[in-house]
Structure 1
Amino acid sequence: MAQTHLTAAYRPQLFSQVVGQEAVTQILSRAAGEGRVAPAYMFSGTRGVGKTTVARILAKAINCSQGPGTEPCNTCEYCRQITQGTSLDVAEIDGASHTGVDHVRKLTEDVSYAPLHCRYKVVIIDEAHMLSRSAFNALLKTLEEPPGHVCFILATTEPHKFPATIVSRCQHLVFKRVEQQVLEGHMGWILEEQGMAYESSALRVLARKGGGSVRDCLSLLGQVMALGQEEISTPAVQSLLGLAGQELMQECVQSLADQDCAAVVNLVRQLLDQGLDIGFFLQDLALAWRNLFILKQTGEQGIPLLDMPEEEARQWLKRADAISMRQIHAAWQMTLEGQRRVVSSPDPALALELMLMNLAFLPELVGVGQEGGSAPSRRKKVPGSQAEGKKRAPGGPPEAGPASGAERQSGNGASTGSRDWEGFLASVRSRKDKPLSHLHLIQGHANGSRLELYCPGYMAQRLQDRDKVAWLQERAEEYFGSRMEIRVCRMDQGGTQNQQEGKKKILNEPMVQEAIERFAARIVDVQTEQADHGSGPENG
């Protein structure tokens, strides 16, 4: 069955047949049955959710010769004419092609006359936000003093473009995006009506790609059915629409966790060779980080929260155990923020490769901690770094070492084994008031009566707020049991006395030399970390 025929053949003709808009259809059905029709309605919502379809059903319900009733009969002359678009009393206008004030003036003149056959003259203006300001002003007069036999229905995907004077004179009904499970059920019903077999996972992919739009889902379903296969299968859907499967997505996450550069490059090449949709791949990747985050927080209890088979969810649960919470959270945020940048880049493939490399080496780039998961065994250590001993990198947190007996008995909560930065984060996380929601992205170290925070510049800027610092100091004193000084240390600025020595040391590192040789790289700049002493509450 062709795509257009599939969409038209299953267009709802009754309020009860409309998918996913029960609240709206209940209001309109009751209004039609009781004869309490508003002079003007405003239908807003995303594309393909039934705005124009519901407008036509309302026009039939209030003009049906066997009504008015809660549903049109669809058999009388008036209902058939409205369905076929030949009724002289029901006008459907495209707002994009009738933007001028002259079109609206002619329309308002026509509606002043009584209907020829029906009870009401119904004017449906699709994409009404495209009307010009002068056209809206011409329409406003009619909406202020509407004739009793006229009903305007303004359908739009951008209600914010309407003048407030127009909105205030309309009964505004919002059409929501249709839920994925509802879309899956609707497509399954259509395929059963067509006598065609299908895989539930294939409908799940189509529903996600449809993005809450019934029309988009039916259009995609029509494309897949046009292949002429006996069954709607998941591989066929993914191949036709250029979508990555779960196997490829799990392979991607594993490559990022292993910091396997070769695997990341091969994955991008595979995406290009198969002609996959990069934008939708990034949406899937963001969803994967979201699922990992939920599973990391909830464990097996979070499996029912994921919209996927249990076996597949358990595979993601195993991967969640091997990645730290901070890395998952940061990767999720980076993926969401980078989607539009990658897709709109002059070279999307190269931008995608850079983004995946940033995600792979995220722990080294932003100092992500490793709580709740171990670092990948393949990760190399830089000689002389914190990983080798208790030496302190310039501007970085000191390596935690065994506390001396004097420290353990000094009564300072910061030095006790159970009172450390991770414990402090756990105590803050349990609170309802969280003015510093990204505190877990900061590296911290309790040093006697001083709490040192090591964070990038944008986080240090947020900690300039005295209220936030005061809140943080109060929580620290509650947790550590003593007076605490907050010291914010920036990790993205150079300028220490040993800056030149630090740069030379970094350039001579074997890992850096290996990277230069392997990727034919050129050093542009080297920045060392430096503490910023100007953010504490004491020295303001």
Structure 2
Amino acid sequence: MSYLVLARKWRPQNFDEVVGQESITQTLKNAIKMNRVPHALLFTGPRGVGKTTMARLLAKALNCDKGPTDTPCDQCSSCRQIMQGTSMDVQEIDGASNTGVDDVRQLRESVQYRPSSSRYRIYIIDEVHMLSRGAFNALLKTLEEPPEHVFFIFATTEPHKVPQTIQSRCQRFDFRRIPPQMIVNRLVKITKDEGINITDYGLRLLARQAEGSLRDAISLLDQAVSFSGKEIKDEKLNELLATVDRRYLFELSSALINAEPKKALKILDHVYERGYDLKQFLKELIDHFRDLMVVKFIDDPSRFLDLSQTELEEMKKQASLASEESLIPIFEFLLQAEDRMGRTEHPKVVLELVLVKASSIKPMLKVEELIGELQTLKKELLSGKIRIDKDDFELMGGPALDSPAQGDAGASGGNLKAEASVEQKTWLGFIEFLGKGWPGLASMLKNGRLIGEDNNQIRIEFPENDFCLDFLKDQAEVKKLNELASEFFGRSLKVICTGRSDPGKVSEQATPPGVQREKLQQELLNHPLVQKAVEIFSAKLDEVKVK
């Protein structure tokens, strides 16, 4: 006799042996006891979670000589025939190869006949979503009002492709992925009875690779036995499954958390030299950081993670060294790399770039700590420990104009002067003041550059042959401008507009731009508020721009 694979050998033979689908098995068992089994059922869910197995168990329970019963005897001819797949009254149809209308017509004709030797005629259609639309339509009437001796059981991995007209005529059961721990428990029983020696790490690795499919996990176990015999070593299993030694995952994640890009690149290079698939390596690294975040944010992470106790303790130790603010950006970098890896012909270069970026993230303050520092700064400002004058921030390309004493203000400028606060007594403040009532003049002055003030004369320099210069040399405009400047600054002032080629210009009298810029930069760096901000944010000023 040919070899019987473990997945078939260990297929459940009663409802109690089904793993991970307790709610469905209980519902079907109760329906059998109460004689309330629907004539059409739709089983949906991922591959390898028990849909076809459950359909066979239900058929066996309905046709058992001692039934209908939720505990079929497995001894009668009907049970044995269903177990062997030879029953004439239980037909399993592959929906992928019987998709046409003619196939459904043959089925419709056969349902009219009574069962040959069993109580019911049962049709199990696997991958039912593969039927054509015409085939579904041909099935509608039979499905709505089948003969009393007929049951339909449909199974599919893609329920969204099954028409709603079909789904509405069925009772639907959604099978879920089997939790890793349940898969491990089942594998423990199988390996014990089969005499297979495998570590706890190996069992959990098989469960992770199966992704919720018990059939896949048993098939991988079968493959591992064929590869290395009944003594399955972790190294051999990693080699068979092309998975990365978890030691590399812990070392690389530690390098990323501790901001060690050189170490991260060395580990990646070693992984690459060992021949590991980089896309698979990135997938496992993402899963590793996902586990780290679960450990970091959840008090009892064991029920959310498929890890041995040793791995869980090591994961907790590593998570304690990482801040919440650093884990999330690293995780996002890795997810972005996964998207890019699928579109590039240079996966190693992409992964190297991402690892350098992820390991170069500077530690950030927690929001709570930042708020606390700002509140402390606020208290110091209110208490007077730090004094701030807003004039300190009017750092412009030209010198500020001095404000007069409060007693020097002229009576003529009372109303307009009230709108201009003391901290606005600068050239930019004057232009802003003009913009409220004389926007044309303000616009003209913006084209010029303030040279400075000398003997109550404000000197403005314009480019040669500038239209604004010609306009502002008009006597009427000059008079209005002088009056407004005197009114704003509270003392008698004249505004002198010159061109760069005028012999009367005073550019040479002003401070050289380079020296002036350095002076302003130094004033800004020495300001107490700037120094406090640098202290709070643990920052450094890379560049200071002076307008």
Q: Which residue of 2 aligns with 1:152?
A: 152
Tell me which amino acid in the other structure corresponds to 1:89. Answer: D
Tell me which amino acid in the other structure corresponds to 2:383. Answer: Q
Distance 1:403 1:86, change over 3 A: closer
SS of equivalent to 2:227: coil
Q: Which residue of 1 aligns with 2:383?
A: 409
2:142 is equivalent to residue 119 of structure 1: no
Aligned runs of 1:360-375 on 2, under 5 Å? 360-363=359-362, 369-371=364-366
CA contact (8 A) 2:41 2:153 kept: yes
Report the structure, 1 or 2, having the larger helix content: 2
SS of equivalent to 1:53: helix
Where does the alignment leave 5 or more consecutive residues of structure 2 unmatched?
387-516, 518-542
Tell me which amino acid in the other structure corresponds to 1:290. Answer: R
SS of equivalent to 2:110: helix
Tell me which amino acid in the other structure corresponds to 1:220. Answer: L
Distance 1:9 1:404, change over 3 A: closer
Q: Which residue of 2 aligns with 1:200?
A: 200
- The alpha-carbon deviation at position 24 of structure 1 amounts to 1.1
CA contact (8 A) 2:33 2:70 kept: yes
- The alpha-carbon deviation at position 338 of structure 1 amounts to 4.2
Distance 1:310 1:181, change over 3 A: closer
Q: Deviations over 1:423-465 (max 9, x none)?
A: xxxxxxxxxxxxxxxxxxxxxxxxxxxxxxxxxxxxxxxxxxx
The number of equivalent residue pairs is 388
Q: Which residue of 2 aligns with 1:514?
A: none
Q: Which residue of 2 aligns with 1:355?
A: 354
- The alpha-carbon deviation at position 176 of structure 1 amounts to 0.9
Of 333-342 and 97-106, deviating more is 333-342
Aligned runs of 1:92-241 on 2, under 5 Å? 92-241=92-241
2:68 is equivalent to residue 68 of structure 1: yes
Q: Which residue of 2 aligns with 1:9?
A: 9
- The alpha-carbon deviation at position 351 of structure 1 amounts to 3.2
CA distance, structure 2, for counterparts of residue 219 and residue 529 of structure 1:
65
CA contact (8 A) 1:122 1:152 kept: yes
- The alpha-carbon deviation at position 406 of structure 1 amounts to 6.1
Aligned runs of 1:5-44 on 2, under 5 Å? 5-44=5-44
Distance 1:66 1:319, change over 3 A: closer
Q: Which residue of 1 aligns with 2:255?
A: 255
- The alpha-carbon deviation at position 310 of structure 1 amounts to 4.3
Tell me which amino acid in the other structure corresponds to 1:332. Answer: F
CA contact (8 A) 2:99 2:135 kept: yes
Q: Deviations over 1:362-417 (max 9, x none)?
A: 44xxxx72449x9xxxxxxxxxxxxxxxxxxxxxxxx98994986142799xxxxx
CA distance, structure 1, for counterparts of residue 378 and residue 162 of structure 2:
70
Tell me which amino acid in the other structure corresponds to 1:53. Answer: T
CA contact (8 A) 1:198 1:231 kept: yes
Where does the alignment leave 5 or more consecutive residues of structure 1 unmatched?
375-398, 413-500, 502-527, 531-540
CA distance, structure 2, for counterparts of residue 44 and residue 313 of structure 1:
34
Q: Deviations over 1:51-105 (max 9, x none)?
A: 1111111111111122111122222111122222222211111111111122112
CA distance, structure 1, for counterparts of residue 131 and residue 247 of structure 2:
48
Q: Deviations over 1:99-148 (max 9, x none)?
A: 11221121112112222221111111111111111111111111121111
From the CA coordinates, give the structure whose radius of gyration is larger. 2
SS of equivalent to 2:43: strand
Q: Deviations over 1:325-362 (max 9, x none)?
A: 12201222343454354245444333333333332234
CA contact (8 A) 1:242 1:277 kept: yes
CA contact (8 A) 2:257 2:327 kept: no
- The alpha-carbon deviation at position 7 of structure 1 amounts to 1.3
CA contact (8 A) 2:61 2:68 kept: yes
CA distance, structure 2, for counterparts of residue 529 and residue 166 of structure 1:
70
Tell me which amino acid in the other structure corresponds to 1:320. Answer: A
CA contact (8 A) 1:264 1:356 kept: yes
CA contact (8 A) 1:95 1:127 kept: yes
Distance 1:272 1:97, change over 3 A: farther
CA distance, structure 2, for counterparts of residue 16 and residue 401 of structure 1:
62
CA contact (8 A) 1:289 1:329 kept: no
Q: Which residue of 2 aligns with 1:55?
A: 55
2:319 is equivalent to residue 320 of structure 1: yes
SS of equivalent to 1:75: coil
CA distance, structure 2, for counterparts of residue 105 and residue 401 of structure 1:
79
Distance 1:325 1:43, change over 3 A: same
CA distance, structure 2, for counterparts of residue 29 and residue 168 of structure 1:
22
Instruction: Give the % identical residues.
Output: 40
SS of equivalent to 1:227: helix
CA distance, structure 2, for counterparts of residue 189 and residue 39 of structure 1:
36
RMSD: 3.4
CA distance, structure 2, for counterparts of residue 36 and residue 288 of structure 1:
47
Q: Deviations over 1:458-516 (max 9, x none)?
A: xxxxxxxxxxxxxxxxxxxxxxxxxxxxxxxxxxxxxxxxxxx9xxxxxxxxxxxxxxx
